[in-house]
Amino acid sequence: MSSTPGGGMFSRDPDLPNLIVTSHPLLRHKVTLLRKRDTPKKIFKELVDEIAMLLAYEVTSDLGTETVRVETPLESTTGDIVLGERLTLVPILRAGLGMVDGVLDLIPTMRVGHIGLQRDHDTLEPIDYYFKIPLPLEESVFIVVDPMLATGGSASAAVSYLKKSGARHIRMMCIVAAPEGARRMLEDHPDVPVYSAALDRELNERGYILPGLGDAGDRLFGTD
């Protein structure tokens, strides 16, 4: 067990050096509730919001700060503020939308872009249908979000699209990762750290994470 610059707890797999699994007790608790098949849609969405906020705290723990002087009601003092880095949240449609509110509750000034990708159910490879990202890309820190990192195809494609458009600083954030997806990201984008609340066992023959939590998009939007 190790700690992040912000003081959180995380674990690393030596075979997946790009993967940072945040192991805070509250995150483990909320992920367990999220996994339960009988968790109602409303509670499921609330849990995703809360997990996204806690993960965002870790993902942004190394942001630069500067010391400024402020006046309290009693005296003058100094404190730290985050430097003016352009933070852009990029949900992968559609399930990634479920993580947006939680992150914005923590960082309401973040800009939000969107990448529309869906998996072909036969090949399991991503098909793109939408790409809208705030400019300029070169100066932004991008946080790509998707609840599930399964095969890694959609996440890798989303990062590739961002890089081709000029993005240089990218991080990935998910709730549950499969080893196959984390490995795909390591092979395709070794420079992109992947933050997750859990690393699960494997994928099944249909590309679903085991034990997983089902189809996050269906459970978020009531289409299961």
Residue 77 lies in a domain: no
119 noted as active-site residue: yes
Catalytic residue among 12, 86, 119, 188: 119
Judged against a pLDDT cut of 90, whether residue 195 lies above it is answered with yes
pTM, to two decimals: 0.88
Catalytic residue among 13, 101, 188, 215: 215
Residue 71 lies in a domain: no
Residue 68 lies in a domain: no
Residue 72 lies in a domain: no
Q: Compute the average pLDDT of residues 73-95.
A: 90
39 noted as active-site residue: no
What pLDDT, on the 0 to 100 scale, is given for residue 117?
80
Catalytic residue among 32, 120, 123, 201: 123
Residue 191 lies in a domain: yes
Helices 25-35 and 41-59: crossing angle in degrees, nearest 10, is 150
218 noted as active-site residue: yes
69 noted as active-site residue: no
What pLDDT, on the 0 to 100 scale, is given for residue 123?
74
Selected residue with higher pLDDT from 139 and 143? 143
Residue 69 lies in a domain: no
pLDDT (tens digit per residue) in 2-39:
554 444 566 677 789 999 999 889 999 999 999 999 99
- State which residues form the domain around 45: 2-63+83-221
- Radius of gyration for the chain, computed over Cα atoms and rounded to the nearest angstrom: 18
What pLDDT, on the 0 to 100 scale, is given for residue 10?
65
Residue 208 lies in a domain: yes
- Report the CATH number at residue 201: 3.40.50.2020
Question: Residue 129's pLDDT band (boundaries 50, 70, 90)?
Answer: confident
**Number of separate domains in the chain:** 1
Q: What is the DSSP string of 62-98?
A: T--EEEEEEE-SS-EEEEEEE---EEEEEEEETGGGG
pLDDT (tens digit per residue) in 156-189:
999 999 999 999 999 999 999 999 999 999 999 9
Selected residue with higher pLDDT from 13 and 89? 89
Residue 78 lies in a domain: no
- Six-digit token string for 91: 């949900």
